[in-house]
C-alpha cells in the first residue's frame, strides 16, 4: 500500500510545484531575504521543541520545500539534510539554500526507502505539519527515525491535531463533529491519505522504542490560521496542532 500511495502522491506533488512555491512566496530572492532576516521566526514554535540546534547534525524527514531546514542551517546547525519524495520540492529548496548562502543536503526519496547506513546518525530529527498522513505504516517510519538518531538524540513531531483533521468541520460559521475520528481507511480521490488518531501516533512512537518526553496540544493565536473558517476564539478552546518530543535513550 505504501508504494501505491507514494507513487500517486509523488506524481501529484510534482505537478507545477516549483511554480506553486513561487506563487506563494514571491521570488526565490524575496523568500531568501525573509528567512535570512529572522530564521527563527520562520520555524516559529518549532524552535521551542527542537531546543538549541547550533553545532548539531539535523535531519528533516518529509521536508517539502526546505524552508525549515534552511532556517535551521542559518541558526548554526553543523549539517542539515532533507528527505522528500518530490524533485520539484528539492529544486526549490536547493535554489533557496543557494540564495541564502547556506548548504543543505537534499535527498529525493520516499522516506520509507532511505538508506540508514548511508545517511548515518543525527542529533535531531524532525517531521512537521501535514505530512504524516502520507505514510501508511507510521510505526515503521518511527523505527527508521530510531535507527537514524544517535544515542541521546531528539525527535520532534509537530502535526495537525486529529480533532481538526478527522472530526470537526466548519458549517455556516459554526463547528460540527461530523467526521469519524476512528476511521482507518486510506482516503482521497487524488492524493492518497491515511489520517492517524493521536493514540495511534503515540503508541507507534513507543513501539518504535523511542522515549516520549512530552506531548503538547497547542492553543491560542499561533493556530488561528487553522481555525480561520471557525468562530473567533475557537483557537483558544480546541487544539489544532500537537507536538511530541522523544529521545533515543543511551
**pLDDT score of 241 more than 80:** yes
- How far apart, in whole angstroms, are the C-alpha atoms of residue 93 and residue 102? 11
The rounded Cα 11 to chain-centroid distance in angstroms is: 19
What HEC string does 123-163 produce? Answer: EEEEEECCCHHHCCCHHHHHHHHHHHEEEEEEEEEEEECHH
Q: Strand pairing partners for 107?
A: 83
pLDDT (average), residues 198-202: 97
Q: Give pairs for 195-201: CB < 8 Å, separation 24+.
A: 195/133, 195/162, 195/165, 195/166, 196/132, 196/133, 196/138, 196/162, 197/162, 197/166, 198/161, 198/162, 198/242, 200/138, 201/132, 201/138, 201/157, 201/159, 201/244
| Alpha-helical runs (H) found in 44-85 | 46-50, 67-74
Q: What was the pLDDT predicted at 8?
A: 60
Q: Which of 186-190, 232-236, 246-250 bottoms out in mean pLDDT, i.e. has the lowest?
A: 186-190
Q: What was the pLDDT predicted at 229?
A: 85
Contacts of 112 (CB under 8 A, 6+ apart): 2, 6, 135, 137, 140, 141, 144
Tracing cell 520540492 back to the chain, one arrives at 89
**Number of folded domains in the chain?**
1
Between 76 and 17, whose confidence is greater? 76
State the pLDDT confidence band at 7, using cuts at 50, 70 and 90: low
Q: The domain containing residue 162 runs over which residues? A: 2-247
Per-residue model confidence as pLDDT tens digits over 209-227 = 999 999 999 999 999 999 9
Tracing cell 513561487 back to the chain, one arrives at 22
The rounded Cα 238 to chain-centroid distance in angstroms is: 21
Q: What was the pLDDT predicted at 24?
A: 93
CATH number for the domain spanning 147: value is 3.40.50.150
Q: Is 30 left (phi over 0), alpha (psi -120 to 50) or beta?
A: alpha
Amino acid at each position: 500500500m505504501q508504494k501505491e500511495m507514494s507513487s500517486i502522491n509523488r506524481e501529484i506533488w510534482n505537478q507545477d510545484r516549483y511554480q506553486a512555491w513561487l506563487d506563494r512566496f514571491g521570488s526565490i530572492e524575496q523568500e531568501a531575504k525573509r528567512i535570512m532576516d529572522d530564521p527563527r521566526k520562520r520555524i516559529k514554535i518549532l524552535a521551542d521543541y527542537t531546543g538549541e540546534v547550533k553545532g548539531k547534525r539535523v535531519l528533516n524527514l518529509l521536508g517539502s520545500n526546505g524552508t525549515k531546514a534552511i532556517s535551521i542551517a542559518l541558526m548554526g546547525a553543523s549539517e542539515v539534510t532533507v528527505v522528500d519524495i518530490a524533485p520539484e520540492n528539492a529544486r526549490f529548496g536547493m535554489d533557496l539554500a543557494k540564495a541564502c548562502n547556506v548548504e543543505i543536503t537534499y535527498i529525493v526519496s520516499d522516506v520509507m526507502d532511505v538508506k540508514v547506513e548511508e545517511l548515518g546518525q543525527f542529533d535531531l530529527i524532525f517531521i512537521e505539519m501535514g505530512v504524516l498522513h502520507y505514510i501508511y505504516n507510521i510505526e515503521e517510519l518511527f523505527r527508521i527515525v530510531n535507527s537514524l538518531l544517535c544515542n541521546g538524540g531528539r525527535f520532534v513531531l509537530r502535526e495537525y491535531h486529529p480533532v481538526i483533521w478527522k472530526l470537526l468541520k466548519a458549517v455556516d460559521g459554526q463547528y460540527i463533529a461530523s467526521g469519524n475520528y476512528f476511521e482507518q481507511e486510506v482516503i482521497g480521490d487524488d492524493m492518497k491519505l491515511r489520517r492517524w488518531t493521536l493514540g495511534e501516533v503515540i503508541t507507534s512512537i513507543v513501539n518504535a522504542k523511542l522515549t516520549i518526553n512530552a506531548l503538547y496540544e497547542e492553543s491560542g493565536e499561533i493556530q488561528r490560521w487553522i481555525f480561520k473558517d471557525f468562530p473567533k476564539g475557537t483557537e483558544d478552546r480546541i487544539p489544532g496542532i500537537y507536538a511530541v518530543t522523544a529521545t533515543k535513550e543511551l
